[in-house]
Amino acid sequence: MIWLPELVEPAENFKPFFTRPDNKITSVRNVWLLNYRNQGGSDHHTSFDMEEISDDIVRFMDEKKITMATIGGHGFGAKVAAATAISNLNRFTGVIQLEGGPLDH
């Protein structure tokens, strides 16, 4: 599973949730917490649009040899998760959205 945070929060904020002993997700799935371009130790670029962020996620999957995953996110991350899955249907088994409405407000 790939998890994406809200725009202004680091992905590491979700580490305590996914590493709790009672969290059953990590007993059946590998979980990758991803930061967006230009955040923390991620790659830095001059542009920051949804298509490029989606491409970054698919490139991460290719580098890690992840052929298929569930993708989810919180807030802005939920929108990115949906946009990435919609444009790469053959790479995702599902989308989890936490506080992230439709792609277009």
Residue 105 is predicted with a pLDDT of 46
* pLDDT tens column, 30-67: 999 999 887 766 777 777 789 999 999 999 999 999 99
Share of the chain above pLDDT 90, in %: 52
85 band by pLDDT with thresholds 50, 70 and 90: very high
Residue 102 is predicted with a pLDDT of 61
The CATH architecture that domain 2-98 belongs to is 3-Layer(aba) Sandwich (3.40)
- Contacts of residues 66-69 at CB distance under 8 Å and 24 or more positions apart, as own/partner, are 66/2, 66/32, 67/91, 68/92, 68/93, 69/1, 69/2, 69/32, 69/93
CA 4/CA 21 separation, integer angstroms = 21
Residue 62 is predicted with a pLDDT of 98
Residue 65 is predicted with a pLDDT of 98
Q: Are strands 2-4 and 92-98 parallel, antiparallel or unpaired?
A: unpaired
User: Average model confidence (pLDDT) for the chain?
Assistant: 87
Report the predicted TM-score, pTM, of the whole model to 2 decimal places.
Answer: 0.84
Residue 48 is predicted with a pLDDT of 79
- The residues spanned by each domain of the chain are 2-98
